[in-house]
Chain A
Amino acid sequence: NAGVTQTPKFQVLKTGQSMTLQCAQDMNHNSMYWYRQDPGMGLRLIYYSASEGTTDKGEVPNGYNVSRLNKREFSLRLESAAPSQTSVYFCASSRRTGSNQPQHFGDGTRLSIL
């Protein structure tokens, strides 16, 4: 049971470089989410996709873009990385919004921007 798979697990970038974080789930979930986790701040929602074909901004969307490629995959792109985007990024999925079912999380991508 793979659940939610994130790639890569680690990445170091230079300021101004771009990259895409990949996320895939095999639970046939409708909703997917991207969070970042910073020390002392808890997890904060970047973007989410309530269903295939839709995406919406979360609490901290600036500097990021997302693509819901299909029902399984939801990617997060940094167009021009900045040191403030150094963080651990988590992807999550759930059956659907308002379902009262827990979100399932991947193991995270640890991103450092120099």
Chain B
Amino acid sequence: KQEVTQIPAALSVPEGENLVLNCSFTDSAIYNLQWFRQDPGKGLTSLLLIQSSQREQTSGRLNASLDKSSGRSTLYIAASQPGDSATYLCAVEAGTASKLTFGTGTRLQVTL
């Protein structure tokens, strides 16, 4: 059974810092890995999707990497801003029905 773990569970950083969020998964037979953002009381917003054949994806200040063989992904956020404060979830997609298995998230607070 696929298991997804995110470390740390919570993180507080001052504005302007670069930071890294970690995600690990137990079964490397995946289609892709996805990073989402969740604001309090809201749904999930897709940030980046890395296909199993890719090593990384970038969108603005966000860069996500994937090492499928070791079962790890990182989300790098450059020059953090207070507006980046949210919970970040990673999920792996696998199986015939493209099911997503989620981690429990990292709650990020960026302070002024």
Contact = CB atoms under 8 A, between A and B. Distances in A.
B98 A106 contact: no
Interface stretch (B10-18, B40-48, B60-68, B77-85): B40-48
B89 A42 contact: yes
A82 interface: no
B49 A94 contact: no
Contact of A105 (B4, B43, B99): B43
User: Which has the most chain B C-beta neighbours within 10 Å: A33, A41, A45, A100?
Assistant: A100
Majority SS of interface residues in chain B? strand
Given A42-B105, A100-B51, A101-B49, A48 B97 contact: yes
Interface string A4-47: 10000000000000000000000000010100000011111100
Contacts, number: 59
A97 B97 contact: yes
B: contact size bracket: 20 to 34
Bin chain A's interface residue count.
20 to 34
Interface in A77-114: 90, 92, 94, 97-108
A107 B39 CA distance: 10
A45 B100 contact: yes
Interface of B: 4, 31-32, 34, 36, 41-46, 49, 51, 89, 91, 96-100, 102-105
What are the 5 closest A-B residue pairs judged by CB atoms, nearest first? A102-B46, A97-B98, A105-B43, A42-B102, A105-B44
